[in-house]
Amino acid sequence: MDKLWKFLKSMKFGLILLGLICIISVAGSLIPQNAEPMTYVRAYPDHYALIFSLQLDHVFTSWYFVAVTLLLCLNLTLCSIIRFRKIPGSDEKEIEAALRVPSVEKTDEKTLEEIRKYLRRIRCRETAGENATVYSKNSFGRYGTFLVHLGILLTVIFWALAMYLPRIIDRACMPKESIFLDDGTEIYVDSFSITDDEGHLDYKSVVNIILPDGRESGLKETSVNHPAGIGRYKVYQQTYGTRGAILVRDGEGHEDRFYVDSNDFLSKDGENGLLYDNVYPDFKEENGEMSLVTSTSGSYENPVYVYMTVEEGQEKEVMLAFPGDKTEIGGLEYEFLDPVEYPGLRIKESPHFVNALLLLSFLIMTAGLYITFFMQPVIVSVDQEGYTVLGSKPEGMRYELKQIVRRNKEK
């Protein structure tokens, strides 16, 4: 049991846990997170079953990632407690021990007086003993490693809050249109693409987030694991869809573009018009018969519209159309346009205090690192024969005192 307890609070265990978190995070960065199941089936046709079984589609909320994070918090808590318990009183103990240490560097009284003046000038704390005087500096530096561990622990905790506390809003939006949130925040979708320049699947949106106070993110590209953000909002590319587009004209030169969904009825008088069914990505012709392709990954190569004409309120016949085709029904002309691809966005709204807490944890960790490396405790014991430099990293003070000794010898 003692061995297990020592291992749980050891640095070795902490490094192992950090390594596991890094490996899992890399998987979460490479594989889109929290997307619809068909996204993985299309993108990883040979590996989607493994992705689902290992929960790699939502790795940051998987049971093993949560378990590793909790173990890391336990390890950091134990390390912090152990280090903090050793700090109070350690300075006084080291000073008492230094008073009993004989001088290592022997020198004359004049040089020793110069050393005493230098140590007083740099504001060392002076403790007089029976045979020696101890000068100590940077006693607060003993808290450096404790603050580093505390900062890392708080960063993990507040990062978890940032992951699990945000309000999540899933919205679809057509390109060149906007989503408006309850507080007045506007998310404008400038463009959306399914493939990159080389034709590989790469779902990306270009958005601009406009806060109620007028601040803007500017046009930023967002993808599944690379959000665009400003303030407490982050916008991720989540999914996508394709909608049919029909341009309707009347006899007076007016026209309107409609993005249509299944069963949308376009009509001038409510009795005669076009009942839209769907748009399909492609078609096949075999033995003189045409069959529709119902699913595909990426853009629609040869889109086919399916609709029904309606006359005097009665559904007549099912029709097919291709982009560029036109038809007249009930005094209106309907022109079928290229289908429009649109993004489904995931909007995360984090509480105001989470970002402030994360900043605080980073500041604590940064302060701990600065104190650890640049405020190392130093103790100098000076007696009648010479001096001794003590401390965990005494090289800097030892160099300064040797320079004083050298200058006095040259005079």
For residue range 310-330, list pLDDT tens digits in order: 999 899 889 999 999 999 998
Residues 104, 14 share a domain? no
DSSP, residue by residue, 43-86: H-TTTHHHHHHTTGGGGGGSHHHHHHHHHHHHHHHHHHHHHHHH
Amino acid letter, 292: L
pLDDT in tens, 135-156: 998 888 888 888 988 998 898 8
Burial of 45 per CB tally in 10 Å (0-12, 13-18, 19+) = exposed
Q: Is residue 248 part of a domain?
A: yes
For the chain, what is the domain count?
A: 4
Q: What is the CATH number of the domain that holds 113?
A: 3.30.310.10
- Domain annotation covers residue 326: yes
State residue 278's pLDDT score. 94
| Cα 233 from Cα 215, distance rounded (Å) | 12
Whether 235 and 354 share a structural domain: yes
- CA angle at residue 363 from 357 to 365, to 5 degrees? 105
pLDDT of residue 411: 65
Asked if residue 152 is part of any domain, the answer here is: no
Nearest partner of 300 among 284, 282, 322, judged by Cα: 282
Q: Are residues 79 and 94 in the same domain?
A: no
pLDDT at 160: 84
The verdict on residue 106 lying in a domain is yes
Q: How far apart are CA 261 and CA 244, in angstroms?
A: 7
Residue 147 lies in a domain: no
Q: What is the span of the domain harbouring residue 121?
A: 90-138+376-410
Query: What's the pTM?
Result: 0.62
Residues 6+ apart with CB under 8 A from 238: 34, 35, 170, 224, 343, 344, 345, 346
Same structural domain, 349 and 204: yes
177 and 308 part of one domain: no
Does one domain contain both 6 and 51? yes
Below-50 pLDDT ranges, the chain: none
Is residue 145 a part of any domain in this protein?
A: no
Residue 201: per-residue pLDDT: 76
Beta-bridge partner residues of 235? 228, 347
Whether residue 160 is contained in a domain is answered as no
pLDDT at residue 194, rounded to an integer: 87
Same domain, 233 and 347: yes
Give the span between the Cα atoms of 358 and 356, in whole angstroms: 5
Establish if 369 belongs to a structural domain: no
The predicted structure's pLDDT at residue 76: 86
134 and 189 in one domain?
no
- Looking at 26, 58, 86, which one is the last position of a domain? 86
> Cβ of 406: how many Cβ atoms within 10 Å?
10
For residues 52 and 199, state if they share a domain: no
Burial of 63 (0-12, 13-18, 19+ CB in 10 A): exposed
**Same domain assignment for residues 233 and 349:** yes
- Residues 227 and 359 grouped into a single domain: yes
Of the candidates 411, 406, 410, the residue with the CA atom closest to the CA atom of residue 105: 406
Q: Same domain, yes or no, for 210 and 235?
A: yes
